[in-house]
Chains A and B, each alone.
Chain A
Amino acid sequence: DAKTTQPTSMDCAEGRAANLPCNHSTISGNEYVYWYRQIHSQGPQYIIHGLKNNETNEMASLIITEDRKSSTLILPHATLRDTAVYYCIVRVALVLRGGSQGNLIFGKGTKLSVKP
């Protein structure tokens, strides 16, 4: 799976949009971009994923550049409960049944601190 690069930490004011960047310049054609977050002392939580088109769900929006070498996760109105470590992971989406390929490899992520 391709490696990703994220800033170590970011601050965001409560109620403002949080834009979290991720570089994945070695991404291959069959790899998706996934975002998870981990609130302190909890298991990771899935946020969103995409291949090449921008995606939006109830939690966030994902903007992927046309060359797919980078992406941005957008939390439109950050709240204090969004304070967490956000992980950008690139991996294949289609796997052989029972296979370990495509398992999640976590980098260091971005620690987002939402401040009042």
Chain B
Amino acid sequence: GAVVSQHPSRVICKSGTSVKIECRSLDFQATTMFWYRQFPKKSLMLMATSNEGSKATYEQGVEKDKFLINHASLTLSTLTVTSAHPEDSSFYICSARDSDRETYNEQFFGPGTRLTVL
């Protein structure tokens, strides 16, 4: 149980295009999901907290208009990188918090999405 999937696992796009990454909780409902970014040989950095049915909360320094987050259902959150540039190339990872056990703050991570912007 407690499986989180991400799609796609790897994507290559041209500079200026937009890319959508999906994060799904497969066997549980997630009111809250988190989006992280990881550059090579660096640790994970929290980008934003995604809450179902409301606006996402972004960490300081993360542009909300560039990284659009939509959490329209209890099992799906999407991250759209708009007008992508080579410096947006990174490993994007989501995690989901089980709604039935939310007060216990258990988070489950997806396998990550490798984005390369040419």
Contacts and interface: CB of A to CB of B under 8 A. Distances in A.
Interface stretch (A19-27, A75-83, A91-99): A91-99
B44 to A, nearest CB: 4
Contacts of B46: 103-106
Contact of B105 (A36, A42, A95, A107): A95
Contacts, number: 68
A97 B103 CA distance: 7
A35 to B, nearest CB: 13
Contact of B112 (A41, A46, A95): A41
B109 A43 contact: yes
Given A94-B105, A97-B31, A104 B95 contact: yes
A92 B111 contact: no
B105 A43 contact: no
Given A43-B93, A98-B31, A104 B107 contact: yes
B32 A100 contact: yes
A45 interface: yes
Interface of A: 36, 38, 41-46, 87, 91-95, 97-100, 102-109
